[in-house]
Amino acid sequence: MAETLGKNTVAQVKLTVKDFQSDQDVRWCPGCGDYSILAQVQRVMPEFKHKKEDYVMVSGIGCSSRFPYYLDTFGIHGIHGRATAIASGVKMAKPDLQVWVATGDGDGLSIGGNHMIHMLRRNVNVKVLLFNNEIYGLTKGQYSPTSILGQVTKSTPYGVIDNPFVPVSLALGAGATFVARTMDRDPKHLQAMVRRAEDHHGSAFMEIYQNCNVFNDGAFFTFTEKETRPDRVVYLEHGKPLVFGKEKEKGIRLNGFTPEAVSINDSKYSVNDLLVHDEKDSTLAFILSDMIHNPDLPRAMGVFLATERVVYEEEMQNQISRAKSKKGIGDLQKLLNGDETWIVQ
Amino acid sequence: MEKTVKNLEDVTIRFAGDSGDGMQLAGTQFTNTAAVFGNDLSTLPDYPAEIRAPAGTTYGVSGFQIHFGSTDILTPGDTCDVLVAMNPAALVTNLKMLHDGGTIIVNEDSFTEKNFKMAGIQSNPLENGSLSRYQVFRVSISKLASNALADMNLSTKVVDKTKNFFALGLMYWMYNRPLDQSIKFIQEKFGSKDPQIAEANLRVLKAGYNYGDTVEIFTTRYEVKPAKLPPGTYRNIMGNTATAIGLVAAAKKAGLQLFLGSYPITPASDILHELARLKEFDVKTFQAEDEIASICSAIGAAYTGSLGVTTTSGPGMALKTEALGFAIMLELPLVVIDVQRGGPSTGLPTKTEQGDLLQAVVGRNSEAPLCVLAASTPADCFEAAYEAARIAIKFMTPVICLTDGYVANGAEPWIVPNVDELPEIPVEFAKDPSTFKPYARDEQTLARPWALPGTPGLEHRIGGLEKEHITGNISYDPDNHDFMVKTRAAKIERIANDIPLQTIDGDSEGDLLIVGWGSTFGSIKAAVEAAREKGISVSHTHLRFLNPMPRNLGEILYKFKNILVPEINNGQLITLLRSKYLVPAVGFNVIRGLPLSSEDIEKRIESIVGGENG
């Protein structure tokens, strides 16, 4: 915590991880991916440019939504699905605050799906950390809107028959200006994505693959574990070709609008034939997100899209400023009087 | 020709026509003119849920009733003296509102076979003798309007749209009203946008007026003198407008930004419309994606130190329920305006009802008390909304302010308060990290501190999980929960120390007390006054506060032999009164989507005490 140092001036105290750890015991299951996400956020927050007291972490209901209790900032543990609606209110009412949302695949995409898409389309400057574990953890193991077809859960003993959401595609479709994907078991990348979200001016949507070791253990291991990750994950970097593989020997090229994995070590293709990532290109972002449907392609991680658009709460404030400069500051007595009064003696 | 002028104490006119005929506009214009003239008045817009139902059908009929007079006007009138019917459907659906011997003015041109069929009637009511009990004036309104515009080269559609101004002009003549108010309105509304339309409406308005003056069928004009109202500066105001500016006034007095999260719903949307225009007052309005987001955004805004408000009607209230419980747990100030309408479910969206009282007082999961108050007349919405905000801030609690379709859309003259004389709304934010505890409480009010994000050193978390007393940390401790449930209830009970004692109109003991709440005020008062004129002793007390109730309410109730509780629901206040005070109250419940009839209440009074005193 920033303290006044001896003299009357408040020094620019460098904050540390400890400053963002609350005094509450963390109560997630041992081994839960949430621990890593909390740790990475706490590690990165001291670098953030705004004052600590200006951060508000809002959540809904679910395991991920306990997040605010463990972070020593202002926070609201909301009601199920409504984190983005509450956060929108916080940000609209006081745009100086830095508002983040911690939510999950159930909270943010099922019960709260409507609020999520509307916040993203409005481009309220709120940063969303969506913990995706493809399961309901807090209610002990029912399927979620990201659970995969056929998945056997407590509420689907014969397998899931709902087609799952692709969270990145949903966010892109809703008109989000920043969309990224990362994972709990890649701390460096997770930190980098949190920094990027912090720096983004507008709604930021970040899907985080998070392992629920109790109800859906290993759902993402093929992407997160060292042995398989190089072949199963391609990292997106703006202006760089999409290269992956243990020896960086593979890449993604576009065949028309269809991405395909190719070897760049043989004579047919070289790195020059590969798709070069462009964060400003929303069409490309959809193509990259859609790779999820082709099991032969690696999973894309990183920033899919980072564009700028009018920020909702700023435009809201602008309308007020314009009204004031045109009409003058409102006179309450005149408002009460209305257009026409008469006097009774 | 010479016309006689007759003085009348009060008159009720009902304008009725197709939804597209501009009846609401004609009614509102007549209202404003009567108000500025100095009459006391009360209005009842009565319109269908369909926006433009097929022309000529009974379900497309839109009505507007205005009761104005030189005396204290309490209701829009149980029945009307004059019915202006623009087509057969308007006539047949509204005839039951006209008392025997009343006056009917019809647009004769619309009485065609086609329109009879549309209205579902077999023969022409103007010819078949069914209107013999009334005085009928057949006026060729469409043709006369069209003649007035003959040289203007306007389309039939445009010409047809002016006919409401003909009816209005004729009524102005009949009741000896100046045209200035409406001329000014037409010029302001259409003048710059479409001078031709303005000219057309002005011509037809004057044509209607002159028609009354010249034709021989109208032999009498009526005069309704200004009312002897208490001295002051007056304006005419509708309930939803009063609510909106009451909220703005409260925010300004408290020095807070007003944040409204809302979702369009009849009949509450006008509050959103009003506030959306008032940006120069630092009002932020947010039309959310749904009712839930609207209240959640208001809660988020309240957390940052705004006056958070959400406005809705019954079905929307149901959707806000969970978030209301959340706001109770967070102990943040929040104002919820519920403009009640007929229910359940979609019910009667454009009609009035008092059906949400129990929903407001007890309709949440678990023990979730909050403050509930109600507005009794259109102008009273100002004070009710203001008081809701004051209590919400002082006690750090959600407050539900109940209005209803009748008071929201009705209008009456209002003494404009002086801004400097409005009650103060002090606000204090927590500042000192060394003493700050999120759930420590003020000794007197039991309110917790309002600690805003952005305040250094006050970082803390609040949420829907049970709180530990003082620290606000999550607590599952059984004793703590028991303590917190009771403390939240005690806090709401303490509001009773902050509100006026209940007053009573009439004797403070006797045979009959009428207990009312909300929009039934005018009907009950009119009934009580009528009964007293017949020598019946009856007292009336009208509740602003439904939860908590005023501290002396029990003492008042216990001094009467009979207690009558008229409500536009199936017995909700009576349920609360019986359970809290164990009194043998009886109900008077009529749920027709309309204000209670004061005549019916009076009959009920007579049936209870008339035998002994009458």
Q: What confidence tens digit (pLDDT) does each residue in B286-342 have?
A: 999 999 999 999 999 999 999 999 999 999 999 999 999 999 999 999 999 999 999
Pairing mode of beta strands B4-7, A178-183:
unpaired
pLDDT-derived band at A13 (thresholds 50, 70, 90) equals confident
Q: Which residues contact B240 (CB under 8 A, 6 or more apart)?
A: B267, B268, B270, B271, B274, B339, B381, B403, B408, B409
**What are the tens digits of pLDDT across the range B509-543?**
999 999 999 999 999 999 999 999 999 999 999 99
Interface A:B, Cβ pairs < 8 A: 207
DSSP letter, residue B429: B
Grouping H, G, I as helix, E, B as strand and the rest as coil, residue B155 is coil
| Partners of A300 in beta bridges | A234
Q: CA A54, CA B352: separation in Å to the nearest integer?
A: 45
Q: How far is B193 from chain A (nearest CA, A)?
A: 20
Q: How far is A343 from chain B (nearest CA, A)?
A: 4
Q: Which residues contact B19 (CB under 8 A, 6 or more apart)?
A: B47, B48, B50, B51, B52, B53, B60, B61, B62
- Flag if A93 and B306 touch (Cβ within 8 Å): yes
Report yes or no: B411 and B237 within 8 Å, Cβ to Cβ: yes
- Flag if B293 and A344 touch (Cβ within 8 Å): no
Hey, CA dihedral for B402, B407, B411, B412, is it positive or negative?
A: negative
Beta strand ranges found along A60-160 (DSSP E)? 74-77, 98-104, 126-132
- Flag if A79 and B456 touch (Cβ within 8 Å): no
- Flag if A335 and B259 touch (Cβ within 8 Å): no
Report yes or no: A275 and A259 within 8 Å, Cβ to Cβ: yes
Fold entry, domain A2-225+309-317: Rossmann fold (3.40.50)
User: Least CB-CB distance to B293: which of A59, A115, A323?
Assistant: A115
Is B284 an 8 Å CB contact of chain A? Answer: yes
Residues of A in contact with B308 (CB under 8 A): 89, 93
Side-chain half-sphere CA neighbours of B364 within 13 A:
20
Predicted pLDDT of residue A14: 87
Is B279 an 8 Å CB contact of chain A? Answer: yes
Residue A7 has pLDDT above 60, yes or no: no
Residues of B in contact with A91 (CB under 8 A): 300
Give the number of other Cβ atoms within 10 Å of residue A322's Cβ: 12
CB-based burial of residue B426 (10 Å sphere; 0-12 exposed, 13-18 middle, 19+ buried)?
exposed
Which chain B residue is nearest to residue A323, measuring alpha carbons? B280
Beta strand ranges found along A65-200 (DSSP E)? 74-77, 98-104, 126-132, 178-183
Grouping H, G, I as helix, E, B as strand and the rest as coil, residue B322 is helix
Q: CA B482, CA B444: separation in Å to the nearest integer?
A: 21
Predicted pLDDT of residue B606: 96
CB-based burial of residue A337 (10 Å sphere; 0-12 exposed, 13-18 middle, 19+ buried)?
middle
Residues of B in contact with A77 (CB under 8 A): 461-465
Give the number of other Cβ atoms within 10 Å of residue A212's Cβ: 27
Token output for B343: 């229910």
Whether cis (ω within 30° of 0) applies to the bond prior to B344 is: yes
Closest CA to B208 of B128, B269, B141, B109: B141
Predicted pLDDT of residue A8: 43
Which residues 291-310 on chain B approach chain A with CB closer than 8 angstroms? Answer: 292-293, 296-301, 303-306, 308
Side-chain half-sphere CA neighbours of A88 within 13 A:
34
Residues of A in contact with B323 (CB under 8 A): 79, 82
Q: CA B126, CA B462: separation in Å to the nearest integer?
A: 69
Sequence-ordered alpha helix ranges (H) in B304-356: 314-330
- Flag if A89 and B297 touch (Cβ within 8 Å): yes
Predicted pLDDT of residue A266: 83
Which residues 34-93 on chain B approach chain A with CB closer than 8 angstroms? Answer: 35-36, 38
Question: For the complex shown, is ipTM > 0.90?
Answer: yes
Predicted pLDDT of residue B3: 79
Q: What is the pTM of this model?
A: 0.94
Q: How far is A139 from chain B (nearest CA, A)?
A: 16
Residue type, B291: E
- Flag if A345 and B231 touch (Cβ within 8 Å): yes
Report yes or no: B515 and B549 within 8 Å, Cβ to Cβ: no
pLDDT-derived band at A1 (thresholds 50, 70, 90) equals very low
- Flag if A340 and B235 touch (Cβ within 8 Å): yes
Predicted pLDDT of residue A6: 41
- Flag if B237 and A338 touch (Cβ within 8 Å): yes
Which residues 409-448 on chain B approach chain A with CB closer than 8 angstroms? Answer: 416-419
Q: CA A80, CA B134: separation in Å to the nearest integer?
A: 61
Q: Where are the domains of chain A?
A: 2-225+309-317
Which residues 577-606 on chain B approach chain A with CB closer than 8 angstroms? Answer: none
Which chain B residue is nearest to residue A343, measuring alpha carbons? B233
Q: CA B414, CA B410: separation in Å to the nearest integer?
A: 12
Pairing mode of beta strands B545-547, B371-374:
antiparallel
Residue with tokens 């920094």: A195
Q: Which residues of chain B have pLDDT under 70?
A: 1, 611-614
Grouping H, G, I as helix, E, B as strand and the rest as coil, residue B395 is helix
Hey, CA dihedral for B495, B497, B503, B507, is it positive or negative?
A: positive
Which chain B residue is nearest to residue A69, measuring alpha carbons? B461
Pairing mode of beta strands B135-139, A74-77:
unpaired
DSSP letter, residue B467: B
User: Least CB-CB distance to B455: which of A53, A68, A342?
Assistant: A53
